[in-house]
Structure formats: C-alpha cells, structure tokens
Amino acid sequence: MRAVIQRVRSARVTVDGEVVGAVGAGLLVLLGVAPGDGPGEVAWMADKVAGLRIFADDEGKMNRSVGDIGGGVLVVSQFTLYGDVAKGRRPSFGGAARPEVAAPLYEAVADALGAARGRFGADMQVELVNDGPVTLVLDSPVRS
C-alpha cells in the first residue's frame, strides 16, 4: 500500500460537479493499493497516518497528530501511485491492485481513519490548500 499524505488547510473532492468529500484543516491522503495487500496493510497504514506528528505544537515543532488538532482526513483512491514509467513514456499500472481487490481495502482504510473520501474509480477533481507545504510518501512494509 502506498500513500501520499499532504497536510492541508482544506481539501475537497468533486465528482460530476458534486462535492463528495471535504475537510478543513487536516490531511489529504492519496492512497494506492498493490496486489497482495490485505488487512495487515490496512491496519498499518491507518495507524501510521493517524499517528503522524506533522502538526505544530505550541513551540512550532511538528509534534501533534491530526487527532491532536481535531483535524479531518480525506482519503482519495489513487491507483496511479503505482504507475511505472521506467520504460517508454506511457505508464504501466501492473503494480496496482485490480479494482475488485483495491476498492474494499481503500474503503477499509478510510473507515479505520473515520475519513471523508472520494469515490473509488470515478473521475475526480481534487482541490486543496496545502499547509506548509508538508508532503510525505508512505509505503507499507512488505509482509510475508
């Protein structure tokens, strides 16, 4: 499982002109699912995202989590995080899980985080006001 996490002042996802998910201050999580991912990766990713200390404390140090600040989380499915462009110019997406595998795992991560979400498989427009900017990339550990 792979995530790109952005600390935001606000973020929202629109599908066909309708806002389907939005948050104020908090995190925008772009989430990709790989073949072989399962419940272990869901638990690891949700715990890691929830516990990231990337919000400023009273001394201005990154020492607070999204829960500590009462922030929101918006999770958006993003299979293109597994795009491979090592050969040629058109990405290959063989590293991404098939939708029937990815969708329930994406939903499970969003549920575990109590997150707003985009719409899996839809053509989405994502708007955000990046805060910092602070952007991190997380890959779940390889599980055996």
Enumerate the domain spans of the chain: 2-132
Catalytic residue among 6, 14, 55, 79: 79
- Unique residue bearing structure tokens 């918006």: 74
Contact at 8 Å (CB) between 64 and 47?
no
What is the fold, at CATH topology level, of the domain defined by 2-132?
Answer: D-tyrosyl-trna(Tyr) Deacylase; Chain: A; (3.50.80)
Q: Which residues, including other chains, have CB under 8 Å from residue 62's CB and lie 6 or more apart?
A: 53, 54, 55, 56, 134
Annotated catalytic residue within 6, 55, 78, 125: 78
Q: Is 78 one of the catalytic residues?
A: yes
> Is 120 a residue of the active site?
no
The reply to whether the predicted model has a pTM over 0.85 is yes
Residue entry with tokens 């969003």: 110
Of 80, 93, 125, 135, the active-site residue reads: 80
Q: What is the residue-level pLDDT of the chain in tens, covering all 144 positions?
A: 999 999 999 999 999 999 999 999 999 999 999 999 999 999 999 999 999 999 999 999 999 999 999 999 999 999 999 999 999 899 999 899 999 999 999 999 999 999 999 999 999 999 999 999 999 999 998 664
